[in-house]
Chain A
Amino acid sequence: GENVEQHPSTLSVQEGDSAVIKCTYSDSASNYFPWYKQELGKRPQLIIDIRSNVGEKKDQRIAVTLNKTAKHFSLHITETQPEDSAVYFCAVGGGYQKVTFGIGTKLQVIP
């Protein structure tokens, strides 16, 4: 089955700085790469996703890059704000939409 590795597990940045979270996957047939944000005690919420036919996607302060050859993808958050503090999960999907999640990165933005 699919194996997703995510790092770092924790990340602290100063407000206004950028944050980068990286994931690798094992199944070259995977074609869907979402990122979820989960605040404490809340449901995971999709913040951005990318398909395998696209190398980069941006939405305001959030961007995701995908390298299918190397089987890795990254989340970039620019101009971080305290409300960005949460746990971020990468995930990998294919076929009928089942996704495999990474272990999560706890992001702390220090005011």
Chain B
Amino acid sequence: GAGVSQSPRYKVAKRGQDVALRCDPISGHVSLFWYQQALGQGPEFLTYFQNEAQLDKSGLPSDRFFAERPEGSVSTLKIQRTQQEDSAVYLCASSFAGSYEQYFGPGTRLTVT
């Protein structure tokens, strides 16, 4: 079956622009995670959803970052007024309820100029 997909794969934004990154999890996966991976670093947790409920947003770096999953499937990560330090790969992962194994998407590489 299809894996986790993300779009766009690459995004270039001018500083100050808003961006929206999309994640399509594996069908039936209840849990959805967003991570930020800076160059040469490990992924860092941003936020977690169980179905449509955002249960943990402790990793969001500022109030410019907002995530939603209104129908419990597709999720969108929105970054307002992008800054250069937002440049990174944004990874989405999903898993079955009660399962520890997370399946990652290919990521969206965001470059803020």
Contacts and interface: CB of A to CB of B under 8 A. Distances in A.
A binds B: yes
Interface of A: 6, 32, 34, 42-46, 49, 51, 89, 91, 93, 96-104
B95 A97 contact: yes
Given A102-B42, A104-B41, A96 B101 contact: no
Contacts of B33: 97-98
28 contacts: A6-B42, A34-B100, A43-B91, A43-B106, A43-B107, A46-B101, A46-B102, A49-B100, A51-B100, A89-B42, A89-B43, A96-B48, A96-B56, A97-B31, A97-B33, A97-B95, A97-B99, A97-B100, A98-B33, A98-B45, A98-B56, A99-B45, A99-B102, A100-B45, A101-B43, A103-B41, A103-B42, A104-B42
Interface of B: 31, 33, 35, 40-45, 48, 50, 55-56, 91, 95, 99-107
Contacts of A51: 100
A32 B100 contact: yes
